[in-house]
Amino acid sequence: MTIITRISQAMQHVLTHTATEAAQKTGFTQRQVKVTGANFCQTLVFGWLQEPEATLESLCQTGVTVGLEITPQGLDQRFTKTASDCLYQVLQAALTETIQAKAVAIPVLQRFNGVYIEDSSSITLPEELAPVWSGCGGSGSASNGAVKLQVRWDVLHGEIDGPHLVDGRTHDRVASTLNRPLPERSLLIRDLGYWKLEALETMDRTGCCWLSRAQAQTGFVDSSGQSWSQAAFVRQQTNGSFDIPIELGLKKRLPARFVGFRVPAEVARERRRKLKAASKRKGQTVSSARLVLCDWTLFVTNVPVDRLTPAEILVLARLRWQIELLFKLWKSHGRIDKSRSEKPWRILCELYAKLIGMIIQHWSFLMANWQFPDRSFVKASATVRRHAINLALAICDLSRLAESLTMLRSCLSHGVRINKSAKSPHTFQLLLALAELYA
């Protein structure tokens, strides 16, 4: 099965059969009327995918292309709790579809069965939606309504696991349990919000690899059996880098590598400035140990040195920021956190519909230019938006939908690349340079 066939089937199933069933189960449609679960979802998904700040009038024009003729006032009245429940079920169905492309042409990534990056991003919602998605609230104007998007992304094959939605107050470690298990011999890279030695130990047992910044308070035991705090250890270092075998944790004792790189003096000074400023805002004092650690970038991993050198670790760790760019794409260009309305249920419907659109957009990226390391998601997203109406017109005819996706793939294969930078090389340039360095 080609990837276009796979995407065509997934897109049509989610936006027709699933949407119809969801509307009936939630009570959004209770009898045969002109507004169905399918044409309602298609109107919103493709309307906001094409124009993220679309007005009701623009959405109604999109509706005509999928068989929904309705006035702006009539559409506005359809944004109810049952409508949001319907769209949420459609979103959940989209999350069960697994779409992956051929591996990107970056040799260091191809050493693994998958290279996963993981993070979350929060969206503030109106106070009235706190019973649906509860945030942390707090003083001032902070809302008690918030939702967190949990995403795990395989940057080798492009497959995206998420966005899974949880309450805004949910800890990242809890949200992470919604993701599918990792395949054996894959690599997971994520930030310290997910740090837990028990989780790293579980990945060890299941044959998965992990790479993380070192959590400052976690001690270790070296090969001679001596216990260390990280600050005490780096104080003893005279070279610009180190890579040693350790047992991570003074009680857990998890076998790992401890890899460190001394940073330039100006970088260390800026780190200390930010650390002191953050501590001052909290009314705290920075410990001398934390100040010492500002001189170093420290990693821990269970990947053996014959699979990843220290230089490769330093570059691979930069991949974690790619998921931040994905969230930025969704928010800045997909406008998932913005609405023209202040009505709570319309805002929630808009969030769900736009997230479905972002999933479809990501599927589109995978069918065209994933194998190219220098692809530009910003340029590609603009291309997908221009083709959204063609997808809407073809959604009910599988062969026409495949034709529309084929045309979209052809367009995505041209002019959606990132220009190389000599002054500040992009991550893909650094990754490709590793292949040349160790060729």
Per-residue pLDDT tens digits for 123-177: 999 999 999 999 887 555 567 899 999 999 999 999 999 999 999 999 999 999 8
Q: Judge contact between 395 and 42, C-beta under 8 A.
A: yes
Nearest to 236 by CA among 284, 165, 296: 296
Q: Tell me whether strands 115-125 and 187-190 are parallel, antiparallel or unpaired.
A: parallel
User: Coil, strand, or helix at residue 92?
Assistant: helix
* % of the chain at pLDDT higher than 90: 82
Alpha-carbon separation of residue 292 from 229, 232, 260 (angstroms): 12, 9, 13
Grouped pLDDT means (10 residues each) for the chain, 439 residues: 93 97 92 86 98 97 95 96 97 95 91 95 95 77 86 95 95 91 95 92 94 94 94 94 95 94 95 90 87 95 94 93 95 96 96 98 90 88 96 96 95 85 80 71
Per-residue pLDDT tens digits for 55-83: 999 999 999 999 999 999 999 999 999 99
Q: Which residues contact 63 (CB under 8 A, 6 or more apart)?
A: 39, 43, 47, 69, 70, 75
CA-to-CA distance for 49 and 334, rounded, in angstroms? 7
Q: Where does residue 417 rank: exposed (0-12), middle (13-18), buried (19+ CB within 10 A)? A: middle
CA-to-CA distance for 177 and 155, rounded, in angstroms? 20
User: Coil, strand, or helix at residue 407?
Assistant: helix
- pLDDT at residue number 142: 64
Structure token pair of residue 188: 């997971």
- pLDDT at residue number 419: 81
- pLDDT at residue number 437: 61
- pLDDT at residue number 418: 82
CA-to-CA distance for 185 and 424, rounded, in angstroms? 32
CA-to-CA distance for 230 and 217, rounded, in angstroms? 8
DSSP assignment letter at 263: P
- pLDDT at residue number 214: 94
Instruction: Check the CA dihedral 283-121-39-383 and report its sign.
Output: positive
- pLDDT at residue number 141: 53
* Total residue count of the chain as it appears in this document: 439
- pLDDT at residue number 51: 97
Per-residue pLDDT tens digits for 320-365: 999 999 999 999 999 999 999 999 999 999 999 999 999 999 999 9
* 56-65 helix and 37-50 helix, angle to the nearest 10 degrees: 120
